[in-house]
C-alpha cells in the first residue's frame, strides 16, 4: 500500500519537475537564448512544453525571480532582466571553487599550517574561548600563475584535523572536507575595503596602499555549529559584483556603516 503524501508537502516528482523547468529556463537566459527585455513564456505555454501542472511552473518562475533574472510580472508575463548567473553555494563558500567555475586555472601555495591558539576574534566567530586550540592554514591562491587571493582559514579541531591529514598539494580544501563528511550547510560572507600593507603587497605582487577587498567567511553545519572562520584579501581592481533586486522580493544583502576604529585582521608570526 502506497503511503499518502502529506498535504502541503511537494512530492519528489514535483520537485524534480520544478528543478528541470528552472534549470532549463535559467540556461536559456544565461546563455543568451532569452535576452534582457524578452518575455518569458506564459504559465500555460510552460505547462504545455514541460507537461507539468501550474505548481512546479510557478515554483520555477519564483526561483528565477528570486535570482533576479526575471521581473515580478504582477499579472503580466515576466520580462528577462539580465543574463548573469548567480554564484553557487560552493563558489561563495570556497574561493577555489569560485575560481574553477570562472575557468581561472587555480593553484595554491601554503604559507603556514599548524595547530595554534585561537585569536580572540576568531574564537568569537567559532563559538569557543580565546586561546582554545584550532587548526590554521594560510595560503595564496593563484589564477593563471598570478597571485590573486590571500587566505587565512581557521577550523575547530574536529574539522581541522582532516585538513592536517590531507595529501600534500591538495588545492580544494572544501571539496576534501565534504568528502570526509563535513557538512557545510550555510555560510556568511562580509566585504570591506582594506589598504595593502607591505606584507599584503609583497604576497600579491602589488604596490603598498593598493585597495583590497577584505572578505570574512563564517560557515556552519545544519545544526548551526560553526565549522570554519576565514579571512580573504584580493585586489579590488580584479573583481566586480552585480546584484539585481525585484520589487517585492527579499534579498540576502545587508549593508552597514563601519566603525571608525580599525577592524581586526589576523596577524602573527606567520605573516598574513
Per-residue pLDDT reduced to its tens digit, 3-18:
444 444 455 566 788 8
Largest CA distance in the chain: 71
Q: Please, are residues 21 and 46 in contact by the beta-carbon 8 Å criterion?
A: yes
Q: Read off the pLDDT of residues 171-218 as tens digits, 9 standing for 90 and up.
A: 999 999 999 999 999 999 999 888 999 999 999 999 999 999 999 999
Phi, psi angles (nearest 5°) of residue 56 = -65, -30
Higher pLDDT, 3 or 99: 99
> Cβ distance 50 to 44 under 8 Å?
no
Paired with 188 in beta bridges are 218
Strand order in the sheet with 106-117: 106-117, 133-143, 146-156, 226-235, 211-220, 186-195
- Number of Cβ within a 10 Å radius of residue 57: 25
How far, in Å, CA of 263 to CA of 242, rounded?
A: 25
* CATH label, 89-238, candidates 3.40.50.300, 3.40.50.1820, 3.40.1410.10, 1.10.8.420: 3.40.1410.10
Can you give the pLDDT at residue 244? 72
Protein fold of 12-66:
Arc Repressor Mutant, subunit A (1.10.10)
Q: Helical H runs in the chain?
A: 12-30, 43-50, 54-66, 89-93, 95-101, 120-126, 157-164, 173-179, 198-204
Give domain limits for the chain: 12-66, 89-238
> What's residue 8's pLDDT?
47
Beta bridge partners of 234: 213
Name the pLDDT band for 267 (thresholds 50, 70, 90): low
Q: Which of these, 136, 267, 144, 152, lies nearest to 199 by C-alpha position?
A: 267
pLDDT of 7-65, one tens digit each? 444 555 667 888 898 889 888 888 888 888 889 988 889 889 899 898 988 898 888 88
On the question of pLDDT at 263 being above 60, the answer is no
Mean pLDDT of 101-130: 93
Q: Give whole-number Cα distances, 271 to 6, 88, 241, in Å.
A: 56, 31, 29
d(CA 122, CA 227): 12
Amino acid at each position: 500500500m502506497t503511503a499518502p503524501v502529506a498535504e502541503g508537502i511537494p512530492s519528489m516528482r514535483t520537485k524534480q519537475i520544478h528543478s528541470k523547468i528552472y534549470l532549463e529556463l535559467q540556461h536559456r537566459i544565461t546563455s543568451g537564448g532569452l535576452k534582457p527585455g524578452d518575455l518569458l513564456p506564459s504559465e500555460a505555454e510552460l505547462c504545455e512544453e514541460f507537461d507539468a501542472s501550474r505548481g512546479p511552473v510557478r515554483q520555477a518562475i519564483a526561483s528565477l525571480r528570486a535570482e533576479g533574472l526575471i521581473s515580478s510580472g504582477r499579472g503580466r508575463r515576466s520580462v528577462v532582466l539580465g543574463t548573469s548567473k548567480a554564484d553557487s553555494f560552493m563558489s561563495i563558500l570556497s574561493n577555489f571553487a569560485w575560481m574553477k567555475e570562472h575557468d581561472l586555472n587555480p593553484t595554491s601555495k601554503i604559507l603556514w599550517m599548524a595547530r595554534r591558539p585561537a585569536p580572540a576574534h576568531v574564537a568569537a566567530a567559532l563559538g569557543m574561548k580565546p586561546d582554545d586550540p584550532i587548526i590554521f592554514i594560510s595560503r595564496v591562491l593563484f589564477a593563471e600563475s598570478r597571485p590573486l587571493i590571500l587566505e587565512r582559514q581557521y577550523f575547530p579541531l574536529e574539522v581541522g584535523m582532516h585538513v592536517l591529514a590531507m595529501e600534500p598539494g591538495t588545492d580544494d580544501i572544501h571539496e576534501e572536507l565534504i568528502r570526509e563528511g563535513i557538512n557545510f550547510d550555510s555560510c556568511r560572507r562580509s566585504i570591506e575595503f582594506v589598504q595593502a600593507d607591505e606584507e599584503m603587497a609583497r604576497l600579491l605582487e602589488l604596490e603598498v596602499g593598493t585597495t583590497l577587498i577584505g572578505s570574512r567567511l563564517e560557515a556552519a553545519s545544519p545544526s548551526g555549529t560553526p565549522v570554519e572562520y576565514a579571512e580573504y584579501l584580493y585586489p579590488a581592481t580584479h573583481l566586480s559584483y552585480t546584484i539585481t533586486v525585484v520589487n517585492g522580493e527579499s534579498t540576502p544583502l545587508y549593508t552597514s556603516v563601519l566603525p571608525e576604529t580599525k577592524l581586526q585582521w589576523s596577524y602573527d608570526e606567520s605573516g598574513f
